[in-house]
Amino acid sequence: MRDGRRFRNALKLSGLPHHKTLDEFDFAFQPELDRRKVRDLASLEFVQAKSNVAFLGPPGVGKTMLAVALAVAACQAGFSIYFTSLDDLVRNLREAEASGRFAKKLQTYLKPSVLVVDEVGYLPLNRTDANMVFQLVSRRYEKGSIIVTSNKSFSEWGQVFGDDVLASAILDRLLHHCEVVSINGPSYRLKDHVNPKGGDQSH
């Protein structure tokens, strides 16, 4: 019972957008997704090894849901977890730096065993912000796991971080120990979408 309470409290503080598990993921809808690879990740060996996971693919294919499901599994197994979008992470660090609390705020993202950084690539960063992300990734390197989701291929991360050298320094550390899962299927969000005009929904 105490474990149950710890789990619920940890989930509450984790920042997760929902608490869906891997059992709720519709693998049938993404036939190209390597189901065995995802199930293997759920064994949480990557968390013990302090290595990383990257889910890549277009919007709506289930990247965030898979990242959340792994985080929930990690939390259930007693690991500390924290979820943030890249945009929120950078905004929080920027505000903390402006008020002299940067080192303390950085700890929020350094402490958990598993840090989920969602939506890398939706908004480009300036150099200062990208440098904060680099600091975070290099401080977590081989000390804790990061799960990232991105709609951009790694070759496009130079544009995301506004600097090719910085992007490759981030990728260098992120990908050294990393499982990369690419999802190239249809969008879940459009699955039940009914077009009121009765037009073509194929784009």
Q: What is the rounded average pLDDT of the residues 173-192?
A: 89
DSSP reduced 3-state for 70: helix
Point out which residues pair with 148 in neighbouring strands: 54, 117
Give me the pLDDT at residue 189, please. Answer: 73
d(CA 178, CA 66): 16
- State the residue for tokens 């950084």: 117
Contact 81, 113 (CB under 8 A): yes
Give me the pLDDT at residue 193, please. Answer: 56
Query: How far is Cα of residue 70 from the mean position of the Cα atoms in its chain?
Result: 10
Give me the pLDDT at residue 192, please. Answer: 63
Q: Assign residue 179 a region (left: φ > 0; alpha: ψ between -120 and 50; beta: otherwise).
A: beta
Q: What is the pLDDT of residues 97-123, one digit of tens each?
A: 999 999 999 999 999 999 999 999 999
Contact 71, 58 (CB under 8 A): no
Q: What is the rounded average pLDDT of the residues 122-147?
A: 96
How far is residue 1 from each of residues 5, 6, 69, 80, 94, measured CA to CA in Å? 6, 9, 22, 18, 40
Q: Between the CA atoms of 179, 182, 188 and 191, what dihedral angle is there, to the nearest 10 degrees?
A: -150
Q: Could you tell me the domains of the chain? A: 2-16+33-182 (3.40.50.300)
155 Cβ contact partners less than 8 Å away, ≥ 6 residues apart: none
Q: What is the pLDDT of residues 5-16, one digit of tens each?
A: 999 999 999 999
d(CA 72, CA 80): 10
Which stretches of the chain are DSSP H helices? 2-13, 35-41, 45-48, 63-76, 86-98, 102-110, 127-140, 157-160, 164-176
Contact 20, 68 (CB under 8 A): yes
Residue 31 pLDDT greater than 80, yes or no: yes
